[in-house]
Structure 1
Amino acid sequence: MTATSTKPLSELLAQTEFSDDDIVRLLGLTDPEECEALRQRAFDVTTEKTGNNVYLRGLIEVSNICTANCRYCGIRKDNHTVERYTLTEESIVACALHALHEGYGSIAIQAGERRDPKWIAWISRLLERIHKETVCEELPTGLGVTLSLGEQTYEVYKEWAEASGNPTGLRYLLRIESSNPRLFAELHSTPGKHEKILEHRYQALRDLRRAGYQVGTGVMIGLPGQTLEDLMRDIRTFGEMGADMIGMGPYITSNGADMTALGMMEKRPLMQLALNMISTTRLVMPDINIAAATALETLEPNGRVRGIRHGCNVIMPNITPQTTRASYQLYDNKAGTEVGPESNVLVERNIVEMTGRTLGLNLLGSSRRWAARTA
């Protein structure tokens, strides 16, 4: 190790600039007292740089039809055991209005990846309607919208941005899953019409920035064959692309995917690694939004609360109709598939009681980094 990586942890945590060795050391912490010191520092930096609010994004999983065959995913094209669905426009708008009435401020629209003209036009109409029906006194520009609809062309991103009608609350989450080209290729080794190539993913992220979105990305933590150095380079990649928000979580196997034989980390060390990754990313990029992934809750009860205590400032309560939730299983035993929207109240109450944070109700909750960049 270098001299920097062996300095007292208290001195390392007080820094605002971190070497690669510093980052690897923080990611690899396992001693409970040291992990707690990292957690507390990340929590304090979050308070200082992004405030005391936790922002809500009502998650609507609009369709599990997908043209891609990513090996880790439970709704991959070649999984013929899953029941495919697409919600109706009326159902989706009803979900959006539920979010509005609950004070969420923003929604997230997620689906399997499609690029056909009919789908693109349908999303545009949907965004226009959501905007029209959610402009109100509390939200004069309507609900904020985060899209997570895969790789598209710049022209499609621009069309959807214009349809959303809300440039100050417009976001797109496109995860890279890993910045290691070898790992990325192993995750997406599905040659064909929608073959995944890491450089194409980076180009899509650049196109999103050019189209006016707050740009979000992220990775899976604890992948088979992944090292602490890989995760460090993931954080460096977030910084190099100027990400405004990060959505990342632990890798959990899916019986509907193609990687079950490779296994996964044991839950306890995986949870600690995921929390270390959240906290370290917060220290390196203090003014971004970081979402507490549902996968944390799948590993451990109140996992999202732990995510907030380690540096997250966004949660995405699932407001998808309960009838289709079990069909949107990206990984096994996904938390929240068996309960209705009323369960979100428990999550929200736990956040307030267990973290000392407040809920940012009726607020778009845009990234501070994005606000500074576009001021």
Structure 2
Amino acid sequence: MMTVSEILNRQELSREDIIRLLSITDKEEHDELIKRAYSIKERIIGRKVYLRGLIEFSNYCRKNCYYCGIRSGNHKVSRYFLSDTEILEIVEFAQENHLKGIVLQSGELSSEEFVNRITALIAKIKKVTNPDFRITLSLGEQSLDTYKSWFDAGAQRYLLRIETSSEELYNKIHPSDELHSFKTRLKCLDYLRETGYMTGTGVMIGLPFQTIENLADDLLFIKERDIDMVGMGPYLEHADTPLYNYKNLLMPLNERFNLSIRMIAVLRILMPDINIASTTALQSIIPMGREIGLKAGANVVMPNLTPLKYRRSYLLYENKPCINEDADDCLNCLAKRIKMIGEEVAYNDYGDSKHYINRKLIV
């Protein structure tokens, strides 16, 4: 069997190489992988962290995904919608705190009323912000016309997580109906690229029924799809979901955490110039989890700017951190923690994916 050093010195990583790296159990080998990934991030992107202010503006969702705490079938959730006024106040706060963009995230809806509201909301945000202020959407599967409408209104980025690139696994973690289609999810990724968005996706790591081979294929899927930005993290269970019944199949939390860190590192090696988020789920397992993700090659963090009174109602998983920390405290704490690990918040940088920029130049 090849050593980690030998694999890391290859020009291209094969599927077998990726499986070997993800399967590391030796601490020295793990550290060697992380060090190599961070050196690539440092060389290509620098010791910079881009912040995206996250606004979880609604937890209404038409989907009933088996892993999600705000799925339509969970009737214990108190549903909410932020008003446009509330959202614009958060946008103003983001600008005052030198953030160059926000992420609008909600449960998945696709009614005409919802689509039109988002189109109008994007236009309102563009009116009160710097012309280059970045708007990222994470609003699930939509039609091509909807994606185009939101793009034309001023949104530049879109995150649509596939959760897994395995159709077999996808079908195990979603209901079997027309609302939950693996092929539709892939088609929507195509629509986003066609529309012109800086396109993002991501997967959950450590799902029941998931194998290391699945995860290796996820990374290869991201590379083959030429994705610009990625948000992926450990699967964390929620008691009010069907998938919770399979919690006995889960690897221990610390193993899910370390595997997630290796996923970030290998992806950075595979795609040196993309944006990779260090997710809140990492912090749910280890208090300094997001910072460890940054040292493994991630370069984006999304501080939560959602008003405190709504945060307990947007729990995709249990033990979500920062639900009692207001936006001011969150930003101040995050800046200190990032500085503590030798990185700096790139307040004066819009943080567009270098991969996206290079891809557009080639086109």
**TM-score by structure 1 length?**
0.94
Q: In structure 2, which of residues 245, 250, 254 is the aligned counterpart of residue 268 of structure 1?
A: 254
Deviations 1:138-168 (A, max 9, x none): xxx232111000000110000000112x6xx
Residue type of the alignment partner of 2:6: E
Contact kept? 2:13, 2:270, Cα under 8 Å: yes
Deviations 1:53-78 (A, max 9, x none): 11000000010000010000000001
C-alpha separation between the residues in 2 aligned to 1:77 and 1:344? 32
Other-structure match for 1:199? 183
Other-structure match for 2:237? 253
Other-structure match for 1:220? 204
Other-structure match for 2:149? 159
Residue type of the alignment partner of 1:279: A
C-alpha separation between the residues in 2 aligned to 1:370 and 1:59? 21
C-alpha separation between the residues in 1 aligned to 2:291 and 2:52? 15
Q: In structure 1, which of residues 119, 124, 145 is the aligned counterpart of residue 135 of structure 2?
A: 145
1:15 is displaced (CA, Å) by 2.7
Contact kept? 1:30, 1:272, Cα under 8 Å: no
Where do residues 79-90 of structure 1 align in structure 2 (5 Å cutoff)? 79-90=74-85
Matched, 1:25 2:24: no
Other-structure match for 1:321? 307
Contact kept? 1:224, 1:262, Cα under 8 Å: yes
Of 9-18 and 295-304, more deviation after overlay is shown by 9-18
Matched, 1:134 2:129: yes
Deviations 1:38-57 (A, max 9, x none): 11111011111222211000
Other-structure match for 1:124? 119
Matched, 1:346 2:333: yes
Other-structure match for 2:9? 14
Q: SS where residue 200 of structure 1 aligns?
A: helix
C-alpha separation between the residues in 2 aligned to 1:326 and 1:94? 20
C-alpha separation between the residues in 1 aligned to 2:271 and 2:49? 17
Q: SS where residue 125 of structure 2 aligns?
A: helix
Residue type of the alignment partner of 1:212: G
Q: SS where residue 352 of structure 2 aligns?
A: coil
Matched, 1:180 2:166: yes
Matched, 1:360 2:355: no
1:11 is displaced (CA, Å) by 2.5
Contact kept? 2:304, 2:330, Cα under 8 Å: no
C-alpha separation between the residues in 2 aligned to 1:328 and 1:16? 43
Deviations 1:9-50 (A, max 9, x none): 222223331011100011111211111111111101111122
Of 78-87 and 342-351, more deviation after overlay is shown by 342-351
Residue type of the alignment partner of 1:187: I
1:256 is displaced (CA, Å) by 2.3
Taking a change above 3 Å as real, the CA distance of residues 118 and 353 of structure 1, as seen in their structure-2 partners, is: same
**TM-score by structure 2 length?**
0.97
C-alpha separation between the residues in 2 aligned to 1:207 and 1:28? 34
Taking a change above 3 Å as real, the CA distance of residues 362 and 101 of structure 1, as seen in their structure-2 partners, is: farther
Residue type of the alignment partner of 1:351: I
C-alpha separation between the residues in 2 aligned to 1:16 and 1:331? 38
Residue type of the alignment partner of 1:271: F
Residue type of the alignment partner of 1:316: M
Deviations 1:257-298 (A, max 9, x none): 211110132111111111011101111111110001100000
Contact kept? 1:298, 1:334, Cα under 8 Å: yes
C-alpha separation between the residues in 2 aligned to 1:70 and 1:8? 40
Deviations 1:88-119 (A, max 9, x none): 10110111111111111111110000000000
Other-structure match for 1:95? 90
TM-align CA RMSD: 1.1
C-alpha separation between the residues in 1 aligned to 2:209 and 2:298? 26
User: Where has structure 1 moved over 3 Å in runs of 4 or more?
Assistant: none
C-alpha separation between the residues in 2 aligned to 1:71 and 1:321? 27
1:239 is displaced (CA, Å) by 1.1
Q: SS where residue 232 of structure 2 aligns?
A: strand
Q: In structure 2, which of residues 54, 61, 64 is the aligned counterpart of residue 59 of structure 1?
A: 54
Contact kept? 2:65, 2:173, Cα under 8 Å: yes
In structure 2, list runs of 5 or more residues that go unmatched.
Answer: none
In structure 1, list runs of 5 or more residues that go unmatched.
Answer: 1-5, 136-140
Residue type of the alignment partner of 1:285: M
C-alpha separation between the residues in 1 aligned to 2:126 and 2:240? 35
Q: SS where residue 231 of structure 1 aligns?
A: helix
Q: SS where residue 324 of structure 1 aligns?
A: helix
Residue type of the alignment partner of 1:152: Q
Other-structure match for 1:295? 281
Residue type of the alignment partner of 2:312: A
1:190 is displaced (CA, Å) by 4.5
Residue type of the alignment partner of 1:358: E
C-alpha separation between the residues in 2 aligned to 1:213 and 1:314? 18
C-alpha separation between the residues in 2 aligned to 1:256 and 1:50? 40
Q: SS where residue 259 of structure 1 aligns?
A: helix
C-alpha separation between the residues in 2 aligned to 1:34 and 1:202? 35
